[in-house]
Structure 1
Amino acid sequence: MTFQTYIEEQRSKHLEELFELLSIPSISALPDHKEDTHRAAEWFASALRNLGMDNVELYPTNGHPIVYGEWLKAQGKPTVLIYGHYDVQPVDPLHLWDTAPFEPAIREESIYARGASDDKGQTFMHLKALEAILKTTGTLPFNFKICIEGEEEVGSPNLPVFIEEKKDMLAADVIVVSDTAMMEEDKPTICYGLRGMCGFQLDVKGPRRDLHSGLYGGAVQNPIHAVVELLQSFHDKDGVITVEGFYDKVVPLTEDEKAAFEALNASEESVMNEVGVTELFGEKGYTHLERTWVRPTLEVNGIYGGFQGEGIKTVLPSEAHAKITCRLVPDQDPDEILELLQKHVKEHTPPGVEVTVSLFDKGAPFVTPFDHPAIQAASRAFEKVFEVPTAFTRGGGSLPIVSNLDEILKAPIVLMGFGLPSDNVHAPNENFKLKNFDKGLLTLCYYWEELEGVL
């Protein structure tokens, strides 16, 4: 029997098992679901044992446990580490779901449930792909280690420490993650890089109390004016970030990468139509894809201060605030960028106010060269199943844990995602197309075959 036949024959059973997993409300952000989240960890631990994995453990953390298992019987062969997560996002607003988020349902050829795409469904596929190979060949082409965490949706606060402490146990030649999406339906996509991130808040303090704008306006610095002036100082009129040293370590796009991006034939007009604007704006001299994938950014995410109610109140506020995040690219270091930003704020603080900078989350950028043999093997596996060329992309967003895996384990990372932008991850009616579930299983099986020839 081939793995293709096995997967076809076991499809109903696989879906039953996946539905059982999706029925567990493992919302890591909500304390009321702590037991449910632990139950999802136990589910994966049991699944790993049934698969034939050895040394299956639930490693406790200060939050939710980390599930680990290994199959190290391919003597002399390379090792693959598969990473995934079993926790999910909250489901609010509940009234916008067409079916209950933890009562999986199939309609319109998609599985609807929280976690169907992000990331229970995709992690589950890895287990079933390995099962298909084991059942049909009796062995695996590599040594496999599987690490599944329960806190990805709350920023993976405990996983970096675990990776550092267990880096010998987790050591691998290739790391594979399925927690991303394809560009569009029937367009297989390999994301070979992600931007990093750092965030901070500006708190601008002026007078000790709110003041009457008629009595004090024009004589006392307005904190809202000050915060606007500060924010304006971060960019020039062409969208270029003016923080001294901000671009110093940015790695330019290679000619091969430029060609790969051009081959995607991305339409900037379709982007404008999608988001409802009449023109795009950003760093001068770069395309939309380059601006969102390989160039760093500084964006104001929120600004507030003064009177917010209906109507008008003639007040000069005591304070104003702004929340800012930067997306970073290789080889920008989040700590260095934050130092540059704090220096910039200090040098550009308007008179009459005091400014405090509070630092938030941060994560390093990540990239594996898209011509790496492990990535090219993934491309060939995709093309065997989808029968169209694979798109090579970088992600504009950030997965901080991927950069942690990269920095600590120092192995190439292959992001093989099977979701779609229309999957509604983090939103009501999250779903995962059955076609992608079926094709994804085959693609993963073919990948291990293709990878065997290059590792």
Structure 2
Amino acid sequence: MKRILFLLACVTTVAVAQKKNDKEDAIIRKHAVQSFHDLEEILRIPNDAHFPKDIEKNIRWCESAFAKRGFATKRLETPTVPLLMAERKAKKPVKTVLVYLQIDGQPVDSSKWFQESPWTPTLKEQSADGAWKAINYGQLYENINPDWRIFARSTSDSKGAAIAFLAALDAMQEAKIEPNYNIKVIMDFEEELGSPRLLEAVKKYQTDLASDMFIIFDGPRHVSNQPTLSFGARGICDITITTYGPRQPVHSGNYGNYTPNPAMRLSQLLASMKDEDGRVTIPGFYDGTTLTEKEKEILKQVPDDENEINKFLGIAEPDKVGGSFQESLQYPTLNIRGLNSLYVGAKARTLIPAEAVAELDIRLVPTSDPDKLIGLVRSHIEKQGYHILDKEPTEEERMKYPRLASFQSSVSYLAFQTPFDSEVGLWLNRAMTNAFGKEPIRIRTAGGSIPISPFVITLGVPAVGVPIVNADNNQHAPNENIRVGNYIDGVKTFYYILKEKL
């Protein structure tokens, strides 16, 4: 009899818990749907950080949105546009959690977008032939297809995450659940410019930003689209190299075989920096970056299907910097992100160009010293016989040096990495497990770069990323989008994080 009563009690407990979860899921979905209005509204505000007047409109929108939810807001002034901080205190806080949101976005080329405007959020459905067809945005308030997508600049990077967070706060209020920790939110409006003022701002406002842990609501999930936590991200620095030829473009027939071509020389110079497997050949570039067997085992736990990754990328085989996709993310990169000389296509001319320009970026890992890596690249160029300048050559320099190149560089921010078993890592893992019934995929280091190291270093806090968007979101490119199912899952993710006790 006792055993029967025990089993009945267990069944009753499970039923009550399931009923509670169903009720919470209904609240979450309700506020996710209602928030599509806010998402549409903020996506209509252009957010290219090159245009401060547009950024001011975004700041005001965020000030209003957070004030409506009981947050006190404060502008953290910088020499350009401010950061925006929002704070809401708990009744009996045990900790303070700092949340990072990115509000600015990449510049757009409207001619490459398959819709009226990148600033007009457009709901689309994929047809049988794979094309995305526009449908009425109002359908989001009716029967939702999770595979629909909303197309607009910053849907995924990263206004979508910001609005999902606001929706989660609204759902928490209806559910009458209060976090047992203070919430501080820092909003960045220059992330796509490399957050050039962030480090000094964090130092200046260190007291305002003081916290115990730091979570980043940004980035895409693992390519499998399963719930994901990211425990690190690479930093970034950039280099601009310009090689010089004749003073002005000259006729390739009249002066070919006599006048050195700066585009050809730049091509040869860049090719000398890597081998055919994609590994950087500059001595010392990978110094200090080694993977232990234990670390390799951790990386193997990520369920990558490299055949699917290759199919998604449209490549037959990858570079061989690491032994796997995850291993490749643990090394610094040297990437050509842009090349320019003269004309192509219909505008092509029979000319020898006057100069050629290469834009490079270096993705940094925790063991990387950016100044050292930049110095190694510069030294390599000198060893190829180039006299390096920091400006355009003078007439005297043109007559004196057979190989001329200018070299400019800058460091945006460093890499960071947080242990899986850190307090913030274990807390987020619990929250995600409760939300989705299984542990999230845990990524040791994400491939992209986010400006987190100033917070980690200056505030002395551990940081973990909570990405929610679909990996195939066209981030930074034309036709950026967010999958509707990912957005709703994002609201659920943030709700369970807010709910989880510290």
Bucket of the pairwise TM-score, normalised by the shorter protein: 0.7 to 0.9
**CA contact 1:185–1:420 (8 Å) conserved in 2:** no
Match in the other structure for 1:142: 181
Q: 2:447 aligns with which of 383, 389, 396?
A: 396
Taking the TM superposition and a 5 Å limit, the aligned residue runs for 1:262-273 are 262-273=300-311
Match in the other structure for 1:406: 456
**CA contact 1:406–1:413 (8 Å) conserved in 2:** yes
**CA contact 1:91–1:101 (8 Å) conserved in 2:** yes
Taking the TM superposition and a 5 Å limit, the aligned residue runs for 1:68-147 are 68-75=85-92, 77-93=94-110, 96-98=113-115, 100-108=117-125, 109=145, 110-137=149-176, 139-147=178-186
2: distance between equivalents of 1:96 and 1:303?
Answer: 23
Match in the other structure for 1:277: 315
1: distance between equivalents of 2:366 and 2:459?
Answer: 17
Match in the other structure for 2:325: 288
2: distance between equivalents of 1:361 and 1:153?
Answer: 14
1:43 offset after TM fit, Å?
2.0
1: distance between equivalents of 2:478 and 2:260?
Answer: 45
1:241 offset after TM fit, Å?
2.0
Match in the other structure for 1:40: 58
Percent of matched pairs sharing the same residue: 30
2: distance between equivalents of 1:26 and 1:178?
Answer: 18
Q: Whose Rg is larger?
A: 2
**CA contact 1:130–1:140 (8 Å) conserved in 2:** no
The yes-or-no answer on 1:353 pairing with 2:403 is: yes
After superposition, the Cα gap between the structure-2 partners of 1:450 and 1:269, relative to the gap in structure 1 and judged at 3 Å, is: same
Q: 2:496 aligns with which of 436, 441, 446?
A: 446
1:211 offset after TM fit, Å?
6.8
1:180 offset after TM fit, Å?
0.8
Q: Counterpart amino acid of 2:213?
A: V
2: distance between equivalents of 1:209 and 1:38?
Answer: 42
Q: Counterpart amino acid of 2:447?
A: G
After superposition, the Cα gap between the structure-2 partners of 1:128 and 1:273, relative to the gap in structure 1 and judged at 3 Å, is: closer
Q: Which SS does the other structure have where 1:88 is aligned?
A: coil
The yes-or-no answer on 1:25 pairing with 2:25 is: no
Most deviating of 370-379 and 425-434: 425-434
2: distance between equivalents of 1:277 and 1:238?
Answer: 14
**CA contact 1:330–1:367 (8 Å) conserved in 2:** yes
After superposition, the Cα gap between the structure-2 partners of 1:223 and 1:379, relative to the gap in structure 1 and judged at 3 Å, is: same
**CA contact 2:172–2:495 (8 Å) conserved in 1:** yes
2: distance between equivalents of 1:8 and 1:232?
Answer: 52
1: distance between equivalents of 2:186 and 2:83?
Answer: 7
1:71 offset after TM fit, Å?
2.1
2: distance between equivalents of 1:87 and 1:409?
Answer: 23
2: distance between equivalents of 1:9 and 1:271?
Answer: 34
2: distance between equivalents of 1:314 and 1:423?
Answer: 39
2: distance between equivalents of 1:377 and 1:191?
Answer: 13
Q: 1:373 aligns with which of 406, 423, 426?
A: 423
Q: Counterpart amino acid of 1:85?
A: Q
Q: Counterpart amino acid of 2:320?
A: G
Q: Counterpart amino acid of 1:124?
A: I
2: distance between equivalents of 1:446 and 1:4?
Answer: 11
1: distance between equivalents of 2:243 and 2:91?
Answer: 60
After superposition, the Cα gap between the structure-2 partners of 1:353 and 1:308, relative to the gap in structure 1 and judged at 3 Å, is: farther
Q: Counterpart amino acid of 2:47?
A: S
1:119 offset after TM fit, Å?
1.6
Q: Which SS does the other structure have where 2:84 is aligned?
A: strand
1:8 offset after TM fit, Å?
4.4
1:83 offset after TM fit, Å?
1.2
1:61-95 deviation line (CA, Å, top 9, x unaligned): 34333221212344562110111122233443257
2: distance between equivalents of 1:90 and 1:322?
Answer: 20
2: distance between equivalents of 1:36 and 1:302?
Answer: 27
1:107 offset after TM fit, Å?
4.8
2: distance between equivalents of 1:219 and 1:432?
Answer: 53
1: distance between equivalents of 2:356 and 2:48?
Answer: 34
2: distance between equivalents of 1:11 and 1:236?
Answer: 49
Match in the other structure for 1:261: 299
1:180-210 deviation line (CA, Å, top 9, x unaligned): 1112465111122212222212222355566
1:114-169 deviation line (CA, Å, top 9, x unaligned): 33322222112223333433554464310111111222233323333221210111
Match in the other structure for 2:432: 382
1: distance between equivalents of 2:214 and 2:187?
Answer: 13
TM-score, normalisation: structure 2: 0.77
After superposition, the Cα gap between the structure-2 partners of 1:16 and 1:346, relative to the gap in structure 1 and judged at 3 Å, is: same
State the Cα RMSD in Å. Answer: 3.2
Most deviating of 261-270 and 140-149: 261-270
Q: Which SS does the other structure have where 1:89 is aligned?
A: coil
1:255-289 deviation line (CA, Å, top 9, x unaligned): 44422432334233333333333322232x62233
After superposition, the Cα gap between the structure-2 partners of 1:443 and 1:221, relative to the gap in structure 1 and judged at 3 Å, is: closer
Residues paired across the two proteins, number: 443
**CA contact 1:178–1:417 (8 Å) conserved in 2:** yes
TM-score, normalisation: structure 1: 0.85
Unaligned runs of 5+ residues in structure 2 are 1-19, 126-144, 387-400
